[in-house]
Amino acid sequence: MTAKYLQILRDLSRRVDAMQPGDALPSEEELAREFSASPMTVRRALTILLDAKRIVGVRGRGTFVAPRAIRRSMTLGSFTDTMQATGRIPRAEVLGMSMEAAGAGAADLLGIAADEQVYRIRRLRFGDDTPVGIDRTLLAAERFPGLLGHDLTGSLYALLREQYGVAVQRASSTISAVLPEAEDREGLRLGTGVPCLSVRGIASDDESRVVEVTDSTYRGDLYSLRVDHSAAPDTVDG
């Protein structure tokens, strides 16, 4: 049975998505009456949204919807981690999956022979009930036998770690702006002309073997990516 505060969190999260930045939420006492819950339980759900910066509290005035964005720092972590950090409940819908010969392009990315088999998995990713991205993932079938028989609606990284003992230790990402194809636009519930972020992520294990390659399309109206930079030792201004 889902904990009461998670039920409240899910409902409030959907409500915040439907509101405009600056709109006021009901008071803690009003929410407690609405959900037939204690103020402490309501406060627990509100705290998650506050920590995720999806709402802001103004002393003496109340709680308001914050500027809307799902901000992901480009550090090692799964989509599931990102959604949970923003106070959203993650889930995925599998749109398609297949096993086929790699071909030259996929083989080069995964470091395998062109005639070896690969899995291709396409998933629509949600934060609560809002579609925020589409993932197209490529994995070597020999390394993960029976993968397509598992539940693929949760964290793929967790599945690979728990079922196959393979942990992602590093990843590289290439980011660009795109206008989504009609198929992706429909799945993401976007109008014509709304830009998206395209991210190719290549994840490797501790032996530098490529674990998976994912091409993601994220909604540009909801998603932002944060990249932190630091100077390398002994660099020279140029």
DSSP-assigned letters across all residues of the chain: ---HHHHHHHHHHHHHHHSPTTPBPPPHHHHHHHHT--HHHHHHHHHHHHHTTSEEEETTTEEEEPPP-EEEESSS--HHHHHHHTT--EEEEEEEEEEEE-HHHHHHHHTS-TTSEEEEEEEEEEETTEEEEEEEEEEETTTSTTGGGS--SS-HHHHHHHHH-----EEEEEEEEEPPPHHHHHHTT--TT--EEEEEEEEE-TTS-EEEEEEEEEETTTEEEE----PPTT----
Residue whose pair of structure tokens reads 């609405």 in the numeric block: 34
In whole angstroms, give the CA distance from residue 180 to residue 70.
Answer: 19
The pairing of strands 62-65 and 90-101 is: unpaired
**Per-residue pLDDT, 135:** 95
Instruction: Dig out the tokens for 232 from the structure.
Output: 């390398």
pTM of the model: 0.65
**Per-residue pLDDT, 74:** 52
**Per-residue pLDDT, 237:** 47
**Per-residue pLDDT, 91:** 84
> Residue 186: what are its φ and ψ, rounded to 5°?
-65, -45
Instruction: Dig out the tokens for 81 from the structure.
Output: 């981690």
In whole angstroms, give the CA distance from residue 27 to residue 62.
Answer: 7
In whole angstroms, give the CA distance from residue 20 to residue 165.
Answer: 44
Residue whose pair of structure tokens reads 């996929």 in the numeric block: 106
In whole angstroms, give the CA distance from residue 32 to residue 30.
Answer: 5
**Per-residue pLDDT, 235:** 46
72 touches 219 (CB < 8 A) = no
pLDDT block averages, 10 residues each, the chain of length 238: 84 86 90 94 91 80 76 59 72 94 95 96 88 94 96 91 92 87 90 85 92 92 64 49
Instruction: Dig out the tokens for 23 from the structure.
Output: 């709109």
- What does each C-alpha distance from 148 to 44, 88, 152, 155, 175 come to in angstroms? 37, 26, 8, 14, 28
Domains and CATH numbers, the chain: 4-65 (1.10.10.10), 70-226 (3.40.1410.10)
**Per-residue pLDDT, 22:** 83
**Per-residue pLDDT, 236:** 44
